[in-house]
């Protein structure tokens, strides 16, 4: 384990001390009807726009699967990172229609 991951521990005088890292438990994936997703349009530099889907509660693998299905439905590229699904281009209407057809609670957010 890297020492960079040891947050808050500098030195211990206890000879029996053993560092116990915080165990992050992944949240169990909620049912589509219980998800509360927000669809945002983010403008990047150079006249580029990205549609982002935020608010997904679940595992990283389920987020990746949902992102893959959304990218296929929109016919666009993208990625999933930082608990967000990023889709290249302005596809808010397509994403909203696809998510509501699959039973997700979703709505547009932002300006």
Mean pLDDT of the chain: 87
Would you say residue 15 lies in a domain? Answer: no
Q: Is residue 104 part of a domain?
A: yes
Q: Confidence class of residue 6 from pLDDT cuts 50, 70 and 90? A: low
Virtual torsion, Cα 40, 29, 57, 25, nearest 10 deg:
-140
Is the CB of residue 96 less than 8 Å from the CB of residue 85?
Answer: no
Residue 17 belongs to some domain of the structure: no
The sign of the dihedral angle between the CA atoms of 64, 102, 74, 111 is negative
Q: How far apart are CA 63 and CA 37, in angstroms?
A: 12
In a domain, 51, yes or no: yes
Structural domain includes residue 91: yes
Check whether 20 has a pLDDT greater than 90.
no
Provide the domain count of the chain: 1
Q: What percent of the chain has pLDDT over 70?
A: 85
Flag whether 57 is in a domain.
yes
Enclosing domain of residue 80: 25-108
Please give the Cα distance from 51 to 71 (Å, whole number). Answer: 11
pLDDT in tens, 69-80: 999 999 999 999
- The CATH number of the domain where 63 resides is what? 3.30.780.10
In percent, the amount of the chain with pLDDT more than 90 equals 62
pLDDT value at position 12? 77
Domain membership flag for residue 78: yes
Residue 2 in domain: no
Mean per-residue pLDDT, 99-104: 95
pTM for the full model?
0.75
């Amino acid at each position: 384990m890297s020492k960079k991951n040891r947050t808050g521990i500098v030195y211990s005088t206890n000879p029996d001390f053993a560092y116990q890292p915080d165990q992050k438990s992944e949240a169990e994936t909620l049912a589509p009807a219980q998800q509360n997703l927000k669809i945002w349009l983010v403008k990047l530099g150079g006249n580029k726009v990205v549609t982002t889907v935020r608010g997904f509660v679940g595992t990283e693998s389920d987020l990746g699967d949902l992102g893959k299905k959304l990218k296929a439905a929109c016919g666009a590229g993208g990625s999933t990172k930082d608990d967000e699904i990023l889709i290249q281009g302005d596809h808010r209407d397509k994403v909203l229609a696809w998510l509501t057809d699959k039973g997700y609670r979703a709505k547009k957010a932002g300006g």
